[in-house]
Amino acid sequence: MSDSVTLEDMEKNKENLDFFKKKMISIEEIFENNEKIIINSNELDKFLNGVKIETKLKNRNI
């Protein structure tokens, strides 16, 4: 909690890029230790439309 930031803090520092670099975590950082799934555009279209696609990710399907 000591690293938490309030909306007021964000508003006060909205022009301070260093503040955000120190306090915020990017999406990339959040997921950097997760396994990556690489699919082509055809597979992406199917996935977004609810079709189960086969991958070679530790014998799991997504």
What confidence tens digit (pLDDT) does each residue in 1-48 have?
677 899 999 999 999 999 988 888 889 899 898 887 888 899 999 999
37 near 61, Cβ under 8 Å? Answer: no
Phi, psi of 5 (to 5 degrees): -130, 135
Phi, psi of 45 (to 5 degrees): -60, -45
2 and 26 in a common domain: yes
Phi, psi of 18 (to 5 degrees): -60, -40
26 and 4 in a common domain: yes
Please give the residue range of the domain that contains residue 15.
Answer: 1-31
What are the tokens at 15? 């022009």
pTM over 0.75: no
> pLDDT class for 50, splitting at 50, 70, 90?
very high
19 and 1 in a common domain: yes
Domain count, the chain: 2
The pLDDT, as a whole number, for residue 61 is 53
* Overall size of the chain counted in residues: 62
What are the tokens at 11? 């508003």
Q: DSSP 3-state assignment of 3?
A: coil
The pLDDT, as a whole number, for residue 39 is 85
